[in-house]
Amino acid sequence: MKHDCHYHPGDPAKWHCGECQLHFCARCMPDANAKQRRGICPQCNKAMRYLGAATEVVPFWHRLGAFFRYPFHADPLLVIAICTLVPALAPRNLLGMLVWLLLALALMKYTYAVINRTAEGHLKPPPLAEAFSGSGFNIVILQILVFALMGGLVTAAGLLGGPLLLLLTLAFVVLALPASIMVLAMERSVGAAVNPLNLATLIARIGSPYFLLYGYLILLVLASGAAQDFALTHFSEWVSRPLAGFLNSTFTLMLFHMLGYLLFQYQEELGFAADYQDAVEPEDHHHRDRSQRFDADLDMNLKDGNYDRAQTLLLEQLKREPDNSLRIGQLYRLLAARNDIRSGSPQ
């Protein structure tokens, strides 16, 4: 949900005070610690909630071109090439099957790294090492268990309730599959990823955009199938199989990037906060000019019409820094606007 700053309309809010029910942008909170999600409300001195990029994320339907370009960055392209070309060159025996299996697991592991990093605000793909490092393969096992449990659920529904219950259960499983993948990526729990209540809650919180994304995902799957079928029917086997695998992996990374971006877009509704991570990191708040906090307080008081308080702030600042030409100029302009030049002279 988009929220603008209370004091700077048009600027996306980064912080929200539940006590004052006010939203503040980064300009209003120069001394807050975004990395540690810590900020104190300048109005009531209570802890505030960090919103991350929730109020400035571009809707996913405005980034379709970026989704299609995503797999063609260097790192994912290398992962796709290794996972599709190496099995094609491997011998067709037990060793070749083992190579194919290990690379398939590495690709699946990489797709979950794509979801997690995108949900955290990294719009650039994960590095190549994410696919082939020794850690993190447990997510692959969890996903296999989720698929097995979902298959068992559909089978049990057919045995207990007949064809109608089987079709209804299958329809829900197919509809909730993207939600299940997102829940598994966030919570790393098989139980949470197959719990119908969890899945229905996530879908409800995202709302109609979930179904819009679902439509795009169906189109991606159909396009992937058509492209692979074209490759298999128009090229020789030694060309068509690697090409079909390449296309399948490419569309899979697009799909998982879209799922991660949906989490990033609806982070506020889903109860977490993430910010854009690929931009240049702002300077740590401890090293910022302390005058930024003063400027923010002065700006907010002026916009609230608290002119006496703004004048007091400037006078107190000039007692500490009597030769500060910036503060002298600010005080002069305030007093001139109030037709009160004489009373503002610092003692």
DSSP for 123-139, written as a single string: -SPPPTHHHHSSS-THH
Check pLDDT > 70 for residue 270. yes
| pLDDT at position 286 | 45
Check pLDDT > 70 for residue 290. no
pLDDT in tens, 10-27: 899 999 999 999 999 999
Residue 101 in tokens: 């299996």
Residue 329 in tokens: 């100029």
| pLDDT at position 41 | 95
pLDDT band at 342 (very low <50, low <70, confident <90, very high): low
Residue 216 in tokens: 């795009």
Ordered DSSP codes for 298-321: HHHHHHTT-HHHHHHHHHHHHHH-
| pLDDT at position 283 | 47
Rounded to the nearest 10°, the torsion over CA 141, 144, 148, 149 is 60
pLDDT in tens, 95-113: 888 988 999 999 999 999 9
Distance CA 145, CA 151 (A): 10
pLDDT in tens, 209-263: 999 999 999 998 898 889 888 888 888 877 888 888 888 899 999 999 999 999 9
Residue 46 in tokens: 């209570």
pLDDT in tens, 81-98: 998 888 877 788 888 889
pLDDT band at 2 (very low <50, low <70, confident <90, very high): confident
Q: CB under 8 Å, gap of 24 or more: what pairs does 339-344 form?
A: 344/311, 344/314, 344/315
pTM of the model: 0.80
Distance CA 118, CA 125 (A): 8
| pLDDT at position 231 | 84
Check pLDDT > 80 for residue 346. no
Q: How many CB atoms lie within 10 A of CB 93?
A: 8
| pLDDT at position 280 | 46
Mean pLDDT score of the chain? 88
Check pLDDT > 50 for residue 278. yes
What mean pLDDT comes out for the span 268-297? 71
Fold of 1-56: Herpes Virus-1 (3.30.40)
Distance CA 88, CA 194 (A): 35
pLDDT in tens, 305-317: 999 998 998 899 8
Q: CB under 8 Å, gap of 24 or more: what pairs does 73-81 form?
A: 73/124, 73/125, 75/125, 75/126, 75/127, 75/128, 76/110, 76/114, 76/125, 76/126, 76/253, 78/128, 79/106, 79/107, 79/110, 79/128, 79/131, 79/249, 80/107, 80/246, 80/249, 80/250, 80/253, 81/246
Closest CA to 114 of 76, 69, 161, 84: 76
pLDDT band at 285 (very low <50, low <70, confident <90, very high): very low
What mean pLDDT comes out for the span 180-195? 94
Of 19-23, 137-141, 150-154, 231-235, which gets the smallest average pLDDT?
A: 231-235
Per-domain boundaries in the chain: 1-56, 60-270, 289-347
For the chain, strand residue ranges (E) read 15-17, 22-24, 49-50
